[in-house]
Amino acid sequence: MKRLNLVSMSLVLGIIFSVVMCTFSYAADEGTKSIQGNVICLIPDYANGTVKPVIATHPCDGLPTHQHVLVTEDTVYSLQGLQDGLKKIEQNPNRTDVVIAGKVKGSEQTGWVLFVN
């Protein structure tokens, strides 16, 4: 009976520890970060089934609908978010050494997403 109580108590403590650690890891992700890098437009080439990465020298909101990534010295962030925030990026002619604020989600295994404010 003592052994059963000890095993049960160990299991309960293990579950509580896991929940607390998960809570702390999610709380750390909730803050807004400012990240500096180059905005790359991924222009689709439907004929070849590929994309062409471009650092635009002018606003890209007149181009076909496309995805944007922010490239830093060692990380690539997919830019996501509400249309207003993404529209500001598309209309900005400056694409090099820009600072974009948002919430970062992801990991080294799955990649990084910057949710633009």
* Interatomic CA distance for residues 51 and 31, integer angstroms: 32
pLDDT (tens digit per residue) in 70-88: 999 999 999 999 999 999 9
| % of the chain with per-residue pLDDT over 90 | 59
Alpha-carbon dihedral angle through residues 60, 31, 75, 40, given to the nearest 10 degrees = 0
Say whether both 105 and 54 belong to one domain. Answer: yes
Q: Which domain holds residue 76?
A: 33-116
Confidence bin at 24 (pLDDT 50/70/90): very low
The pair of structure tokens assigned to 40 is 């790359």
Say whether both 59 and 16 belong to one domain. Answer: no
Contacts 24+ apart (CB under 8 A), 57-64: 57/93, 57/95, 58/93, 59/90, 59/91, 59/92, 59/93, 60/90, 61/87, 61/90, 61/91
Say whether both 66 and 99 belong to one domain. Answer: yes
Say whether both 66 and 25 belong to one domain. Answer: no
pLDDT (tens digit per residue) in 38-63: 999 999 999 999 999 999 888 998 88
* 4-8, 49-53, 95-99, range with the lowest pLDDT: 4-8
Confidence bin at 31 (pLDDT 50/70/90): confident
Query: What integer best gives the mean pLDDT of the chain?
Result: 82
Say whether both 57 and 75 belong to one domain. Answer: yes
Give the distance between the most distant pair of CA atoms in the chain. 74
Query: Is residue 67 pLDDT above 60, yes or no?
Result: yes
